[in-house]
Structures are given as structure tokens and as C-alpha cells.
Structure 1
Amino acid sequence: MKLFSKIVSILFHPMLMPTLGVFVIFQAGTHVSFMPFEAKRIIYITVFLTTCLLPLSLLPLLYQFGVIKSFQMESARERVLPVFFTGFFYYMGYLLLKKLGVSGVIGSFMLASLVAVLSAVVVTLFWKISLHTIGIGGVAGAVMALAFRFGIDLTLLIFLLFLASGITASARLYLGAHQPAQVYAGFLWGFLIVFASVLI
């Protein structure tokens, strides 16, 4: 069970959620799904680079300077600087996408993800909110908003994302990384911010 929980924590790592979110948006059957493959490829590369690779590349440096004691960042205080830098890279990604002329649903999703991350920095100063459930909650919120905004049936996709959210929350609890309130609050935090942004 511990190995399974660790695998789940890696698969649904918060730094992978923006890329997963973009993938899900492309598969949702809206007008965005008909974007040319080359345009999608550029968006994927931009999002993955700025929300995953660049933030991850900083962790060894932060570890070397003693800012974080481990890559798990078990204390709330350890997470503040990494989450701040992650927010900075998210902002870079958002600006790059704007320069490329990407707006609409993708732009709203990226902006909402940025807001969720930066606001999590403030919360992290006082409380160890779950970044994992903020991430997966944001993806679930985006899909729910697409269903309402475009009137399309995404029941199966929403069910799968809520199931993945539950599994991720359970994994984090099993590993002792969070208290129940921290994973519930994280999910609601990510879900509501992204849902409102993509819907409006």
C-alpha cells in the first residue's frame, strides 16, 4: 500500500497537473479540441517546461543551500520558497502563452493555476495545505466548468477526476504527509479557483 501511495503521489504530482489539465481540455470536445497539432504541441511544451521542468530543476539547488531538508518538503515552512518560485515560472508560462496568442479556456486555466499557486504561498506560511489536492482539484474544476460553459456531457471524465482526487488524497493521508483537513481544503481551494476562472 505504501508503494502504491508513493506511485500515486508521483503520477498526480502538482507540477504535472497543469500539463494534465491542458491535455484534458484538449480532449473535452470543445472548439479547442480542433486546434492544429502543431499549436497543441507548442502549448504542451510551454506548459510542461514552465510548470514542471523549470520548478523541478531548482529543487537540487534549494537542497544544496539548505532551504529544503528533503525533496518531500515535509514542513510547511520548507515549501514557501519552492512554491513561490513555482508561481514565478507559472507566470512566465502564462506570459509566453499570451505572446503566442493563446487565450480563452487555456489562458483562463493557466491564469487560475497561477492564482491557486500564489495564494497557496500565503497559506503555506501558516498551514501545510495539500499541493497535490490543489493540483488535481484544479483540473477537476476546469472540466466541470467546461461542462457548464459549453453544455457538453463530461460526466465520465468528471467521475474519473473525482476518483483520482480521492485516491490522491487517500495516498497523501496514508503516507502521513497531511491531515484530513489539509487535503480537503486543498481540493476545494484548487477546484473553486479554477472552476470560477474557466466558467467566467
Structure 2
Amino acid sequence: MKIVSVAMHPLLMATYLSAILFSESPELFPRIVPEAVPQFILVIFITTALMPALSIFLLKSFSYISNLELTKRKERIRPFIFIVFYYGASSYLFAEKLQMGPVFMTVMIGVSVLIGILIVITAWFKISIHATAIWSSVGFVCALTILMGVDIGWYFYALILAAGITCASRLYLGYHQPKEVWSGAILGFIYSFLTIAIFL
């Protein structure tokens, strides 16, 4: 179960979702030629996963947080601020420099706002970020499938299965109570679905 939590880490969701959409629905990204897709996925990974992860590691090194899993609610605020900065900067990069399509930009900006919402929630309640992140991905995909006819094939079912296993792993490892996982899953799915429904 520990492996599941690491493999489905919230910081990796943007990379996974981008890779799936590029693979199965390249028409959503008209400005990216197929030859440039690997490099583009790498940029997404660096800006939304690697750099935030390094920031969390540095916070641990300087004893601002007690562990890399951020199990203590009050220690999550500072790392989340770093993460929302990276996502906001990435959104600006992709919008102004690379001029990505509306779908990608809606997802990136939507995730940036969602992280801001999580910062506020975390001040009072230890919501499951794993559950929020992966069910947010499910919400985006469901909205794209239902509202825009996007078809990602078997990845759709694999994503839902991964979401269920990820939530179970957080409970099994004792990192969260059921209400923390359920609230994260519901928030992530509804927020992301409505983001696509309203802004696209």
C-alpha cells in the first residue's frame, strides 16, 4: 500500500493526466507536434512534480516539517504555498509562452485554484490530498468525456480503479480517517467536473 501512495502521489497527477490526454486525445493540444510531446511531458513533470518535491525536501532538511508525507495538518500550509506558486507559474508559462489550448489551460488554472482552496481547508481540517488529487483527475476526465466527447479508452477505467485503490491505501496506512478521504474525493471530483462544465 505504501507503493500505491508513492506512485499515486498528488504531485504526479498533472504528469499522468497530461500523458494520458496527449496519448489518447492529441486533438486537444493542436499546438504540440507529436515529436515534441515527450519534451512537453518532461516540462510538466519538472514544473509540477520535481520542483515542488525538491521544495518539500528542503523544508524537511531545515526542519520546517517533520516528515515528507506531511502527516501533520499544520505543517502542510507552507509546502502547499510553494506548490500553488509552482502551479501558478506553470500556468503562466504554458499560457503566455507556449500558448496551449483552452482545455489544458482550464485544467492547469483549475488545479492552481483548487490547491488554494485546500490551503484554506487545511487550516481547520486534515483533508486527504491524495484523494482530492486523484478524484480531481477523474472529475476532469469524466467532464471531458461527457461534455466534449473525449475518449481515453481503457485509461478511464484504470483511472477510476487507481482512485479507489489510492483512497484505500490512505486508510490502510492510517494516514487518514474515512471522512478525510471521502471529503477529499467528493471535493476533487465535483470541483473538477464543474470547472470543465462552466469554463469550457
SS of the counterpart of 1:91? helix
Instruction: Measure the CA separation in 2 of the matches of 1:156 and 1:59.
Output: 34
Local SS of the residue matching 1:177: coil
Q: Pairwise mapping of residues 34-183 of structure 1 onto structure 2 (< 5 A)?
A: 35-99=32-96, 100-154=98-152, 156-183=154-181
| CA distance, structure 1, for counterparts of residue 28 and residue 129 of structure 2 | 27
CA distance in 2, matches of 1:50, 1:113: 13
| CA spacing shift, 1:163–1:103, aligned 2, 3 Å | same
8 Å CA contact retained: 2:15, 2:45: yes
Contact 1:46 1:97 in 2 (8 A): no
**Equivalent in the alignment of 1:11:** 7
Mean Cα displacement is larger for which, 139-148 or 33-42? 33-42
Give the equivalent residue in structure 1 for 2:21.
Answer: 25
Give the aligned residue type for 1:125. Answer: A
Number of residue pairs matched by the alignment: 196
Q: CA deviation at 1:178?
A: 0.4
**Cα RMSD for the two superposed structures:** 1.8
CA shift for structure 1 position 189: 1.5
Q: Is the 8 A contact 1:19 1:47 kept in 2?
A: yes
Per the alignment, in what secondary structure is the counterpart of residue 176 of structure 1? coil
Taking the aligned partners of 1:189 and 1:42, their CA distance within structure 2 comes to 32
Distance 1:92 1:152 in 2: 27
1:135-183 deviation digits (Å, cap 9, x = unpaired): 1111111110111222245574332222111100000000000011111
Between 1:72-81 and 1:153-162, the stretch displaced more is 153-162
Q: Which runs of 5+ in 2 are unaligned?
A: none
- C-alpha change, 1:192 and 1:63, in structure 2 (3 Å) is same
Give TM-score, length-normalised by structure 1.
0.90
Offset from partner CA, 1:99-156 (integer Å, 9 cap, x none): 2111311111111111111110111111111111111111111110111222245574
Match of residue 190, structure 1, among 177, 188, 191: 188
Question: TM-score normalised to the size of structure 2?
Answer: 0.90
Deviation at 1:30, TM superposition (A): 5.8
**Structure 1 residues 111 and 33 mapped into 2: Cα distance closer, same or farther (>3 Å)?**
closer
